[in-house]
Structure 1
């Protein structure tokens, strides 16, 4: 493939295939978002574990995932089965992933060290199984179709699946904990884990059954790993997608971890949790419909720049609205919509980075490139969550007697981190090497000539 060529438009995907692909993200994200939003609370308040130790578990577990993710990516690229390259991993990890999620909320009363050991093992297992399922899932998108328009539709459906998982995993979790637990939060969290695990399993099995790989691989399954990783690091589209995704999920992990503390201890309005947590990415449900036409017209780079500029301005306005909760929520919801546009862009950026890799090096390596971006997701979540846990420990946070110093740290964490990370995302996306996101008639992305030349060098 030479510069300026296009990949032929693939067959149109059926609605069942698109919705099954989108709800695959629901299957992976529902347990993961519930863990991200409430595991810090569950471990420190319900299971009575020290916040600093919990933060260390979050961070070390995700750093361990670095080797696992890259290994899974290579395995996907080397896999050839009657089910394809990616689909067998989705099938065989679905049940273990659901069971380990339940295990996370079954912390036994084994004393402090026993609890921490259980938390470390179960949280690591969830991350490993997430790697073996979600990386093939991400790699599946460019295998399903080479058509950029169809990819945007799949990304849109994935955004819908993500948003519904966030709404359920955040807004519904605490009401369901109260309903099922009857005042016993340990029992309530376990019952919610059982329910969410069942829904996740159904979504993942539907993903395997209804989605198929159509893009045939030309290269042999055996390839040298180190040169492949070297070429991946030379792919500017992949580097931008990796850093952009990392920054997004550092912010995401920090915000879903700190929101409950912010609403309870700073705003002193616990009822706002059920509105604020879903809005962090729950507005994806709306942005999933508006993002594809916007990004098709503006391109990934210009569309994300506009969304990030608006988001930074809105987050800077929020501290002045703390005394007016409904005005606060209105501005917050608007900021959440604009930031959600960028996650739809991320899903398409990953697929386009695979095409760009083929343009530069003549090979695709969907698994390896998807693994790198999946790694950014999990490291970002871990760093964001761990940062909040360390901030709470540094401020000597105690749920029974919250000091003014702790409230100040929580307030700064809630506003300062998002503005900083959104600004860094803005700088990052300026280096995206592609022009328009979608050419007329469903052809693939066109590459800016200057960017292509610089990427080759």
Structure 2
């Protein structure tokens, strides 16, 4: 019944066209700016709040979860807004143009907590973090949705996602390797403000370049332009889309894991390994599997498909935390485990956005209408809930263990919580990752889905 009421036809002479490498490069470059903010906030904001701004770990943990839950609501609203946007620039591209400067400015404000007392700092943190959420959502949801509008050709979408992954990795490496040394070299709060300012300026430039150089090819149908799918109907279709459910839960698990590995990593190198500088080394090694994988990604994807590769590397990644358990205080063992653990990041960096957008085709095939923005925003909700949950766990467990910000040494209970955050919880989450990827079997069905969708449009 749902399909009969909402089934529409799509038209567009260039929907199967693949973007050129220059266009893909500029799309990836725009993602570089977006990921700068995501990584800076996800990796260092908790540490900045607790050890630089002087806000208690428990308060920070609650802030992270409350703000991210609010973030999920804005994601759904933004996805619906993108689906309903009508402009000469398309549906997703205009938002990338509009939100570049606001995102750059708010990134700077976030790492500029003034000395206005404990209560004032908390209020400032809540206000600026929620403001960041609103602006970041208005940028990131259209950006992820744009991937689905640029091409519907499966290999082209996979290659485009590889470009995205390359710049995602580069942005993550730039922040995780350079942010802490640069901030420390400058010193105090101003060091982190300078790092945030550089990131903000980069976002403004890269977002404009991405807007100017990309093109939306997957046009909505004439019927869809006249009759937008109701929000309740769209949401109902999402929860009947089994592959979207799998990918959304995968996003929650994966981004919780990523938040723990990156956000708690600086505490680990500082208090377990005894040198904060080791964090930059471990951050680089975490991406070694992805850096190697990019040289073979296009060929492997063409031969084996996204899901099979993602499943294999997810299973390998499970052994990273297990290796670290051999001797948690040994730097060589920690770094070896980090490299192995990095295999679990490969699906997130190289395939996740393409796989999420693939579920939009499955939904269109099953229910007869396309909600590209809603699919991406709802999956993004899972990412942000995961990131918020990871950040909250860091703050809450550190507070439960009696962690004292900027202290020379920590108590045994605080040290145990750092181990839990960096080894035991990531191990359990890595197992869940592999199980979910085993359940995702859309790749095998996808070519037939595209064929049937194409036949419908010819009727």
Residue aligning to 1:45:
51
Unmatched 5+ stretches in structure 2: 1-6, 451-459
Residue aligning to 1:114:
120
Separation in structure 2 between the aligned mates of residue 346 and residue 114 of structure 1, nearest angstrom: 39
Q: Deviations over 1:387-435 (max 9, x none)?
A: 0110100001013240111111111221111111111112212222414
Query: 1:9–1:230: structure 2 CA closer, same or farther, 3 Å change rule?
Result: closer
Deviating 4+ runs (over 6 angstroms): none
Question: Which segment drifts farther, 339-348 or 80-89?
Answer: 339-348
Residue aligning to 2:88:
82
Question: Which segment drifts farther, 276-285 or 143-152?
Answer: 276-285
Residue aligning to 2:435:
427
Separation in structure 1 between the aligned mates of residue 348 and residue 72 of structure 2, nearest angstrom: 24
Q: Deviations over 1:360-394 (max 9, x none)?
A: 11211110101011111111111001101101000
C-alpha deviation, 1:297, in angstroms: 2.5
Query: 1:244–1:397: structure 2 CA closer, same or farther, 3 Å change rule?
Result: same
2:201 to 188, 198, 201: 198
Answer whether contact 2:95 2:142 (CA < 8 A) is retained. yes
C-alpha deviation, 1:264, in angstroms: 0.9
Question: Which segment drifts farther, 213-222 or 66-75?
Answer: 213-222
Answer whether contact 2:29 2:210 (CA < 8 A) is retained. yes
Residue aligning to 1:405:
413
TM-score, normalized by length of structure 2? 0.90
Residue aligning to 2:453:
none
Question: Which segment drifts farther, 328-337 or 83-92?
Answer: 328-337
Separation in structure 2 between the aligned mates of residue 137 and residue 205 of structure 1, nearest angstrom: 12
C-alpha deviation, 1:341, in angstroms: 3.4
Query: 1:14–1:358: structure 2 CA closer, same or farther, 3 Å change rule?
Result: same
C-alpha deviation, 1:280, in angstroms: 4.2
Separation in structure 1 between the aligned mates of residue 261 and residue 344 of structure 2, nearest angstrom: 16
Secondary structure of the corresponding residue to residue 430 of structure 1? helix
Residue aligning to 1:440:
none
C-alpha deviation, 1:286, in angstroms: 3.5
Separation in structure 1 between the aligned mates of residue 19 and residue 257 of structure 2, nearest angstrom: 33
Query: 1:194–1:342: structure 2 CA closer, same or farther, 3 Å change rule?
Result: closer
Q: Deviations over 1:56-92 (max 9, x none)?
A: 1111011111221101101111111001000111111
Query: 1:55–1:175: structure 2 CA closer, same or farther, 3 Å change rule?
Result: same
Unmatched 5+ stretches in structure 1: 438-443, 449-457
Separation in structure 1 between the aligned mates of residue 62 and residue 384 of structure 2, nearest angstrom: 15
The aligned length equals 435
Question: Which segment drifts farther, 317-326 or 303-312?
Answer: 317-326
TM-score, normalized by length of structure 1? 0.90
C-alpha deviation, 1:345, in angstroms: 2.1
Question: Which segment drifts farther, 260-269 or 10-19?
Answer: 10-19
Query: 1:348–1:445: structure 2 CA closer, same or farther, 3 Å change rule?
Result: farther
Answer whether contact 2:316 2:340 (CA < 8 A) is retained. no
Separation in structure 1 between the aligned mates of residue 448 and residue 349 of structure 2, nearest angstrom: 21
Residue aligning to 2:27:
21
Residue aligning to 1:339:
345
Q: Deviations over 1:171-194 (max 9, x none)?
A: 100111133x2xx32011111111
